[in-house]
Structure 1
Amino acid sequence: MADFIAEMTPGNLIPESWKLHVDGSSNVTYGGVGVILESQNRVTIEQSVRYEFLVLNNQAEYEALLAGLSLAQEVRAKVLEVNTDSQVVSSQINGDYQTQDPLLQQYLAKVNELKERFEHVTIQHVPRERNARADLLSKLASTKPGHGNKSLIQEIIKSPSISTTTNAYLKLSNQGSWTYPILQYLLNRTLPEDPKEGKRTKREAANYIVVAGQLYNRGFLQLLLKCIEPGDTEYILREIYEGCYSHHIGGKTLAQRVIRAGYFWPTVIRDSMQLVKNCDKCQRHANIHQAAPHQLSIISAERPFGTWGIDLVGPFPTAPGQLRYLIVAIDYYTKWIKAEPLASITATQCRKFLWRQIITRFGIPEIVISDNGTQFYR
């Protein structure tokens, strides 16, 4: 801001600075955003917008930011300070986080386009308690009808701010894809000409939903799973199978990890089994279990917190702070569990975890059992 004011010529007036608070909310029926625009002269404009289409949390936060930037443009604001309680949105715009989701990439491009229309824009993350009023407006828009309130501006929007028909994952032109008949039915209520195929498609479509142009599989006990086109399945399988761990796990375990990572296609189990069978390293170096069976040995602990088992879990979908892994330790005597999220799995992180969570709290353990991963013996 100081550099911007220094560049102003003496004959020009310094643009008035505006402060913008935005927040978005979503539920199974509606989405809503709250916008508060304040000037230096204590002029306050409040706006509550309801979206009559299904939005996800990050999409709602971007919609709130776009609505706030549009409102600031209407009042001809030039210098703008934006406050949002979404760390994902603020970090992606400021370049701290990478934006890999195609839908959020479109939103990010739209935000950058609107930012060019201002002389100076800063976007920062604030705690939720400092954004309480905008949060209240967003929840009002997503839960209440859009009329009857005279104290603020209320609007109803029926379509997203970006075009979802160009989403890279919505490949309606690929009629050979397994997603084509389901998308045709969900979007256009069009069924195949064959009555048997039409009945089967209609029955299977009940297990899917379209969110922002992307087809998702839904179930009773799991989150939405992104449906993958046939051309992308092999890359996902090999990334998990030969990725950072390179464990070359079995076919069923590989399929479970694919689903746990948030992906789905009908032949995921069969494709996982086939990939394991075609792996040259697994065929050459896999253990051949021909030893005679014998009784399993029992690991017993003589005192509490003397024997610990430790292992790494992941990668999971990236959480705030780039957290993707878990390090977990369990005491064999009391079954006490200690866990901590990690952004990277290194020997240094493992040593810090052992010192901070086990040694300083329970003393030096007598035995630590691991899978002999490189992170545990370096």
Structure 2
Amino acid sequence: MAINMEITAVEIYGDSKLIINQLLTEYELRKDDLVPYFWLATQLLQRFEAVTLEHVPRKENQMADALAILASSMTLGEDEAANVPVYQRWVIPLVIEIVLSDTNVISILPVNVEEWRQPLINYLEHGILPDDPKHRSEVRRRAHRFLYYKWTLYR
């Protein structure tokens, strides 16, 4: 999203000391299943003019805690929808297809069957809630943890 917004400098704070230090090349990358993520992150970081990577221990991550509390405490009316900008993606795009040739990767294709994500997408995109009162409150309760952006649901 930062690239799409043409942001040139990013500060990245992460609570995983392993991941931050691997990206800083202070730690060696040992697990094969992390290689595609490492290469993708490296390619993405090269697209910025300035990048700062910093490890923040979970105990000291008050900003993330404050944002989580704020998002969970938001009260919405019946017809209101909230889009909290949180971005977490676990699918590796085909940008790094060359790297993936030596790695075990599973491709996942969308299925046209109603599943657990569809009510969340309906609510986040159109403000539509299910008819069942129990399911309605569950969708409203869980929706603040998700973002629907460019036809993909992110947590």
| Larger RCO, structure (CA 8 Å, separation 6 or more) | 2
Q: TM-score range by the shorter chain?
A: 0.3 to 0.5
If the length of structure 1 is used for normalisation, what is the TM-score? Answer: 0.21
When Rg is computed on C-alpha atoms for both structures, the one with the higher figure is 1
Structure with the higher fraction of residues in strand conformation: 1
If the length of structure 2 is used for normalisation, what is the TM-score? Answer: 0.46
